[in-house]
Structure 1
Amino acid sequence: MEISNNSFLDPTTVTLVGIPGLEHLYFWIGFPFCVLCIVALLGNVLLLTIIPTEHSLHQPMYIFLDMLAATDLGLCATIAPKMLAIFWFNACTMAFDACLTQLFFVHALQGMESGILLAMAFDRYVAICDPLRHSTILTPTILSRMILVVAVRAVGLIGVFPILIRRLHYFHTTIIAHSYCEHMAVIKLLSGNVQINKSFGLFAAFAILGFDMVFVLVSYILIIWTVFHLPQKEARLKALNTCTAHIFVFLEFYVLAFFSFLSHRFGHVAPFAHILLSTIYLLVPPALNPIVYGVKSKEIRVKVLRIFSPKDNFLQ
């Protein structure tokens, strides 16, 4: 698909091309992405069903996990329908307002997920480094405030993106070389001075992802330091075991996030590779997170087995 050199004034629609260079594989690419979406849907709905209804799971770690599941579900719902429509039905046209709405939700939900992961790291830090005060530090009021701050920060910073884009009325093209409306991909459409957009995008990324990643790393350095100073080997192994799922999820999220972010701005990665990986980045964590936590958390694992093995539960 050729990109027009004409200027467009306040376009009402844009065209998402999907993954440039892999058009001949769209039909087949859609299947693994669809499987990821189904796994994410089932896994996160299961967590959202189990955690609120199981009284033994009403603890900070599982409350944050419940919020993470809701965020992951939102990410899938935001990008999957349109993405699969592009791959399978060549439905590439999208209203520009809908594109800006998708842009807002994609990045706001990413920001919320990052904040929730930081909150989970803080919960593990308190549980391991100061266990006697865990229940007094992470009270329901504090948990509510933490969740509110995470949501307000993401919505407040990301909400500026569409406003800054709307201030410019001329576009080089209406064709977005991406599978969803990503901030930098939309900025590349604009004609005029977009330095403010780019600068604020960098600021928002480092104010959310950069800030959170630094404090997550600090939390886990302190956790590891404390764990290796425990007197008993069994206690050290138990403490580390409670953190393995969190560490896997943190690495999965932040490594993919910063690869996508930095390659879009400074790297020389092939466009199809960047777009493919940035799409995977939004779909793989929502699919893997319920599996990782389900496998590592005995309480969730037992509850899932009870749901799918009612006869065994009745016999017990």
Structure 2
Amino acid sequence: MEYTQLGRTGLKVSRIVLGTMNFGPHTDEASSHALMDAALDAGVNFFDTANTYGRDPRGRTETIIGDWLARGGGRRDKVVLATKVYGGMGGPGAREWPNHDRLSALNIRRAVDASLQRLRTDHIDLYQFHHVDRNTPFEEIWQAIDVLVAQGKVLYAGSSNFPGYKIAQANEAAARHGRLGLVSEQCIYNLFERRAEMEVLPAAREYGLGVIPWSPLHGGLLGGVLRKEAQGERRARGTSALALEDPAVRTRIGAYEDLLARHGLEPGEVALAWLLTRPGVTGPIAGPRTAEQLDSALRAAALTIPEEVLTELETLFPGPGPSPEAFAW
């Protein structure tokens, strides 16, 4: 496993990030623990979760991770642990009290203590703001983070789903008071969805944030979905099924799968490996449900995509181009 610095920090993290959203809803606790053991054995040291993951109830995923960490064996010391704050914990249909969600100083304080309890640890290495809170000034957010850093509960702060201008606002507010500011941005970014290249990635590079792409397979669209349909393995669902309703998208995905088949490459592994070639990307989030999916992600980390394939991928999935040239003269 290769390691890199997380943005401008001295923190070293694996080029593949273990995403845990499936732990609980789709992967039971024993299997989730086995996946974390296997990931750690393979050198993956960067684990990502969120306080709202788990569905029934929300927070279940953090509890599964906490139970795994509590088994000892140096697990906590080896892992760079990242979680998130923003969403309410009540779930669909539940009553949410005021101040029980978003990024007020009060909710940040409440949420971090609850996450620490579920994770069964005394600190979170990377505490990420899951979404933009337009009603809370960054001065208040950074004041709350200052307290958590002083208490030893949080080491670094990151963002998720922030547009480029909010990354700039957050770090300019931090700089005015001599704070470190955001060190990472977790955004949707993959071969099919490249709009982050216009503003988010340039802002992240300018301010020294490591980029952690989520949905690297775009909901399975880039994971060999047409081949699996043809073989009767699994039909497309969710975002990939909606995308494939467009004949032009189906044609493009078919060309993508045909290209990689000619070169003996697996679509899902190429989609992950392509992200590792992109400037500023720390590592994509692989969210396995099974051991086979984890093994595929690990192979992707070691894969070198031939130049001719990279060129053809650029033709199939052209990026928007740099801003402002992408939308102006």
Whether TM exceeds 0.5 here: the answer is no
TM-score range, shorter chain: under 0.3
Q: Which is strand-richer, 1 or 2?
A: 2
TM normalised by structure 2 equals 0.24
TM normalised by structure 1 equals 0.24
The structure, 1 or 2, with the larger RCO (C-alpha pairs under 8 Å, 6+ apart) is 1
Q: Which is helix-richer, 1 or 2?
A: 1
